[in-house]
Structure 1
Amino acid sequence: MIGVVDADGSTESGALIDDFVREGARRMPAAALEAEVNQYIAELAAERDDRGHGLVVRSGHHRPRIVTTAAGPVEVTASASASP
């Protein structure tokens, strides 16, 4: 996020630190969910069906949702995985 910082350390959307906290609050759950999905897929990568297709594959992302945090509401998108 790029913004103009006023002399008092604020931006148009509020204090600069609030912007950093809000962005961190958005990224941390998304990164944790992504890591969890990656680990799950890696653990089951060798599992195959009769045709040799992977039983656990990444199939996109869930719809974004709003999570309320101390930094305010943030949008989080989680990866999806599916077993056929």
Structure 2
Amino acid sequence: MARLQDKVIIITGAAQGMGETHARLCLEEGAKVVLTDINSDKGNALAKELGDNALFIKHDVTNEDDWAQVVKATQEKFGQIDVLVNNAGITTH
């Protein structure tokens, strides 16, 4: 049995990089994964590639209303949330 079988996991910053890697690994271990990111194009494409146990939600982690929407949509699609991976980050130059 997979270690994360049927666990519901939200991963912020999941459209690419480390977040994408986390999402892929969690799905391989049996989880249902909600990918959030501000990059809709990459996020939607990744969720489509990953299949029925992945859901993308556009999400600005600095916005409280966006958090409420992520929680609501996650619970509606997959049920109780088990894990949150706060992976999103900001790069400044």
Same fold? TM cut 0.5: no
Q: Could you state the TM-score of these two structures normalised by the residue count of structure 1?
A: 0.25
Query: Larger Cα Rg: Structure 1 or Structure 2?
Result: 1
Higher relative contact order (CA 8 A, sep 6+): 2
Q: Could you state the TM-score of these two structures normalised by the residue count of structure 2?
A: 0.23
Q: Which has the higher strand share?
A: 1
Q: Which has the higher helix share?
A: 2
